[in-house]
Structure 1
């Protein structure tokens, strides 16, 4: 029997029916088929080798293998919060978290707006929640998720980069900010001072940290007090009302055991310890920071991403395309802490006004985030008007409303906003009576310069090609779905 290579090297003499060139072409085709089969086999072997010994693969080869297998060629070791039974204080906090009797209506608890089954966000698609003594008062913003707040720093204003230790003079900051365009997320160079380093100029100072959409609470304890005394939420008129309700709870004896019998005689101390317990519950209970998404397991080399998910991840990180990772950080920290998918900073994005919010029926009402109306300490810092906290994207696919005003209900709508806000604003914003597009219609015009138009995908003009194609958007959404906790292979 002739080997295929023999036919090529020593072709048989032509017969009367087949000319010699035909036989040679057929031999070459057999040789090409044999080589193609060998290449496929080599890629399969290479992929198997990479799965067993990923650390031995060169980066270029690793990228090819990643496309084939969906595995992470460079697994990381993530440092999750330690798992341990809840302390007595945290167990007390859990009871407080679910206690409806602490509200004026008697039917609303912390868990009413922060459902454990919905990543500690609302379990409905209302743009704002109802509360008050009769559960008929509408709020102003959709409650953000309470998940993944365990590493949130207190609110501050400082340089995005750099190592200045100069204190921030808020009055001077307001003066410096007059006429500036917007607070930049990349620090600008500070002018040199003859004697000592000068504080960064106002545009270089970035709001960061804090809780609520406007960062007005610095700790989980302070955050927990807000809804208890908010007239459109749990609606206690005073903190004394909260203390009286605590004295009638079924877990009062636990307060005495943990904090001493005299705690019931001091209303302010009783409230303080109750809020401390709620904070401890959120810190200790792993369900608030589970890190059990498919992406977490992919980072550790324990799961594979599909082609669409991998492509979505690349687009998510691409600073010239979606640029999501510019604010929603996707890489583990240097010491192995899992990514929170937020830089905990503030941005003015210019999302359209939501007419479904009752407060927005007043054309003079504007929710301007950091500079008001629900915090007044930064009212003079007009360079921050329209800025809201960047939320985590963990469990984002499970949310039912998006942005500080709940104007969107689907991830596709969110991505279309980012993609078309500048290139086709008529598809994002309403028109006035004259037919003019009302761009940035949820922020007074004098603050429009604060809105980000420099970073991709907003660095485009009307009529330009959008940063993302329809397929790009589908792939990015596929990736964001890998951020949901509770993944099962």
Structure 2
């Protein structure tokens, strides 16, 4: 049946009034277009207002603005360390840090393994570095980065001990903690107390409490700078071109006191690491995004969401991503220790001995907790700042890119045959870098390790690519 055109319809006459014109189809479309344009303009104005005054926006609106623009809808002011000229002590420490003459070989300094151009980590992809008197001795672990250690607390076990001058009996603390269930790690949520795990300290096993203690270790390590005794270090310091600076700062008597000379030298190295902003620059894209000065791409933003998702990657369960209430920028570590069960690295010479195991907190390089076997296999959670600049990962340097690292987290439990080697009978050697009696220490409670064999991996390839894109925003030196 044919309908009359809109134009042919009779006018509508309201009761008691004049006829009102009828809108044609074209008029209705024109009105609809103007309405949509008006709504779009209003939304654009609202979004612009939200960018200028994000703190006034409801959370739901902030999330929409973040998704569309990549801007942080709730920027913060970060409290960075004060940037001031280095003190005389720190300037002395800088010279010591780069001085190769302090090694037995005359070819190695602190900077040899902690390159300023590589976020104070190694400048190569070797799983361990070569050192010793003739630079032919292999180490046992890849050197960790020296960045973002200025807030590291002394080693402790259990609830946060904070700053204390009272000596801590580690054996007593560990014994008290034995049998207490470890707190589960959840992204963006504080762990339930008591978090009965080791925390704080320096090196992969936390055996040094201060930057001063950390600095002295490599000087007398036979596979590093290889001085036979502390007295050898003192003799080398007395022969340096900066001895007069020691005397000016600490008094002329320091030249006749070898132990004090070494102590003050290492104190100076520690001051250099604390005062020089290159050790804690906080100049990454993520820092600027937190402050509302940069925008994340869709991939980076999605990666951040996955990084923080307690049911997905759950990276933030250990690598804290949120600023503190006091405005301190996140350093992307909870400074606690975890047993992750990474596969053994056959490229480390020490691992050629099948009886050798590096078990972190309980040995072999620290002995005070050797009997506390509940901690065997635990290593310090490192910062993820500048992680994209590293060329080897985990305490044994078994992986060499972030995709391999993320595959380990994603597949360790669901498809272990893709992570670990097989023995002669074809059986997958899961957790093959830890003696079997300590396999129970490995984390299977926190996502994504809470998946079972044969389960669907929690992250897709695209998820992993986006998380890596986000982690690249943690590199210092961002330029828009």
Matches within 5 A, 1:35-184: 35-159=35-159, 170-171=171-172, 173-174=174-175, 177=178, 180=179, 183-184=182-183
Q: For 1:227, which of 218, 227, 248 is the aligned residue?
A: 218
* Distance (Å, rounded) in 2 between the aligned partners of 1:29 and 1:102: 83
- Greater displacement, 406-415 / 462-471: 462-471
How big is the shift at 1:142?
0.1
Could you tell me which residue of structure 2 aligns to residue 193 of structure 1?
none
Could you tell me which residue of structure 2 aligns to residue 338 of structure 1?
329
How big is the shift at 1:310?
1.0
Per the normalisation by structure 1, the TM-score is: 0.89
Q: Does 1:368 align with 2:369?
A: no
Residues 476 and 266 (structure 1), Cα distance of their counterparts in 2 relative to 1, 3 Å cut: same
Could you tell me which residue of structure 1 aligns to residue 303 of structure 2?
312
Matches within 5 A, 1:332-481: 332-481=323-472
Q: Contact between 2:170 and 2:368, CA under 8 Å: does it hold in 1?
A: no
Q: Deviations over 1:125-163 (max 9, x none)?
A: 00000000110000000000000000000001113799x
* Distance (Å, rounded) in 1 between the aligned partners of 2:176 and 2:288: 49
Residues 85 and 354 (structure 1), Cα distance of their counterparts in 2 relative to 1, 3 Å cut: same
How big is the shift at 1:472?
1.0
Q: Contact between 2:410 and 2:459, CA under 8 Å: does it hold in 1?
A: yes
How big is the shift at 1:244?
0.3
Q: Does 1:209 align with 2:210?
A: no
Could you tell me which residue of structure 2 aligns to residue 293 of structure 1?
284
How big is the shift at 1:32?
4.5
| Structure 1 gaps, min length 5 | 1-9, 15-22, 190-199
Residues 279 and 176 (structure 1), Cα distance of their counterparts in 2 relative to 1, 3 Å cut: closer
How big is the shift at 1:170?
2.7
How big is the shift at 1:470?
1.2
* Distance (Å, rounded) in 1 between the aligned partners of 2:161 and 2:223: 39
Residues 91 and 32 (structure 1), Cα distance of their counterparts in 2 relative to 1, 3 Å cut: same
Q: Deviations over 1:353-390 (max 9, x none)?
A: 00000000000000000000000100011000000000
Matches within 5 A, 1:227-266: 227-266=218-257
SS, match of residue 42 in structure 2: helix
* Distance (Å, rounded) in 2 between the aligned partners of 1:226 and 1:43: 61
Q: Contact between 1:104 and 1:133, CA under 8 Å: does it hold in 2?
A: yes
SS, match of residue 197 in structure 2: strand
How big is the shift at 1:184?
3.8
Per the normalisation by structure 2, the TM-score is: 0.90
How many pairs does the alignment contain?
Answer: 454
* Distance (Å, rounded) in 1 between the aligned partners of 2:436 and 2:28: 72
* Distance (Å, rounded) in 2 between the aligned partners of 1:169 and 1:249: 38
Q: Contact between 1:210 and 1:216, CA under 8 Å: does it hold in 2?
A: yes
Q: Deviations over 1:307-361 (max 9, x none)?
A: 1111111111111100000000001111110000000000000000000000000
SS, match of residue 205 in structure 1: coil
* Distance (Å, rounded) in 1 between the aligned partners of 2:228 and 2:161: 43
How big is the shift at 1:67?
1.0
How big is the shift at 1:54?
1.4
SS, match of residue 416 in structure 1: helix
Q: Contact between 1:160 and 1:206, CA under 8 Å: does it hold in 2?
A: no
* Distance (Å, rounded) in 2 between the aligned partners of 1:37 and 1:155: 61
Q: For 2:8, which of 13, 24, 38 is the aligned residue?
A: 13
Q: Contact between 2:97 and 2:111, CA under 8 Å: does it hold in 1?
A: yes
* Distance (Å, rounded) in 2 between the aligned partners of 1:345 and 1:169: 15
* Distance (Å, rounded) in 2 between the aligned partners of 1:25 and 1:408: 66
How big is the shift at 1:181?
9.2
Q: Deviations over 1:369-428 (max 9, x none)?
A: 000000010001100000000000000011110000000010000000000000010110
* Distance (Å, rounded) in 1 between the aligned partners of 2:173 and 2:81: 41
Could you tell me which residue of structure 1 aligns to residue 16 of structure 2?
none
